Structure 1
Amino acid sequence: METKLPLVMKALAAAQSRLQECRLQINAYAEADEYLQDYQRDQYLEDASEILKANTIRARAAIRIVFELLDLDESLKALEAEFEAVADRLGQVSYYDEYLGPYNEVVDLLSSRLDLVVPLVETPSEVREQRRVLVRMLRQLPHFIEGTGNHPKREKDVQDHLLPILRLAFPDVVREAPVPRQTKIYFPDFGIDSVGTAIEIKFVDDKAKAALSVGGLYEDMKGYANSGYSFFVGLIYMTGNYLTQDQVEAELTNVDTPKNWKVYLVVGAGGRVPKTKKLSKGATN
């Protein structure tokens, strides 16, 4: 088991990501079901149901790999039997009530069975401790920046401050490490292979950007799913108290993000890049 652990962890992260895709599709279906009124509504819902069905089948395949790697033969047989019992509900979206929202019975089954094996795949204690050190470093970043007197004015400035700090504890840190996908290549701001962690930075200097920052992180981090990274950290560096951690947690809960995705807020000194005025035609210096 110990020799398989890195592979099992990657397989588990991939399966969790597949289930997340299913949940997003369920929410997309429900939103269209409630608000879409034009003549294309029925076709859109039919297509959305087919996408959910395909996503669910991929999630099932990913979960099978986890069970097989863990040699859970009997549990896998039981899961297959349970799956077959509800297979006719693939792609169907149902509703608990107006508060609990939409669900799919097959996705719920797969999710609950995968949750049972998560405790069997524990992150090594050394890696857990290193990740805790990493998070502390990220959350203390404003204190370091304050001491330099070189206050950031954009996202790249924050990254430039962070890189030498990360190298002190994580010499294998890579800036913009590529994560290839079928249609494009994603580049997390930092990748640390030794702790299987991708880091994404956002710089926020007004309330308008703050409102979009969490969603932006979420979209970025989705691109790194099914990669070699099993832990994802977003850091939002704000120059004022534009958001609270509770607001961030609520938004992440609303979209049902996996437990291995974390987003932290920090407040530090900074400013804006001054906008240059464009000269009108015919103007002279």
Structure 2
Amino acid sequence: MQVKAAISSIEKCLREASNHFLSDSYGEPLTDDDEAVASYYIERAFIELLVLVEHLNLPSTYRRVESLLEQALKDGLTKSKMGSDEPYLVWAEKLRMFVDGLSELHGLGETDASEMRDIKSILRRAVYMLCDTTLFADVPKKESEVHARIEGILKCHYQDLKSKPALSKPIKKFEPDSAIPSIKTLIEYKFITSKAEAKRVADEILADVSGYRSPDWRNLLFVIYETERVMHEDEWTALLQECGLGRNYDAIVLSGSAKAA
């Protein structure tokens, strides 16, 4: 449990660092405030990782991380490079390799999987807000309304979130609804009112499943909004598993009718 909590804390630091770095890195110089915050979280991630590997009695790993920290302090904690779609923090990516290795070693799953769980947890807690008529004139009536409201929620947690992002390397005919570069996650929204629509959406996923594969994006989350209970979340998850997409491709079902009552 201590290892899991430590890894979760390091992941959070890396996510916060990327959020502040990416919020101003698209064609605009990084502000002093954002650079300071990003630097703080990168250094904190280094320190927490050093504490963890020392606790686990991994002297060789400790020396490697310590050497990386010395180099990072010399070159700059917010040193970056341009990736295929967006710039990235060099030291954050190097630290992720250690975190992923420790996570696998202790049977905690990949960092990607934990990031997916974080997003799903945020959406489950916020589902009531989607249908809150004190905030909106009515419950969602179409996919674009679900899309806009969910992005408003996620933007509070992931400052680099992009709506209808343009991918530098288009993936088949797939055009994602949202993208979160800092955790390399794409999101697709679906609006369902009947079993017939559920079948159509399932067929669409099955037909285009190969198009969702890309080395530039680790995670893909389908957000299924139902106006009434149509298809259980386990059924959508099973569908994705049958497609052979892997554990970093997932679905979450949000039911609007019960929350709107």
**Normalised TM-score (structure 1):** 0.46
Q: TM-score, normalised by structure 2?
A: 0.50
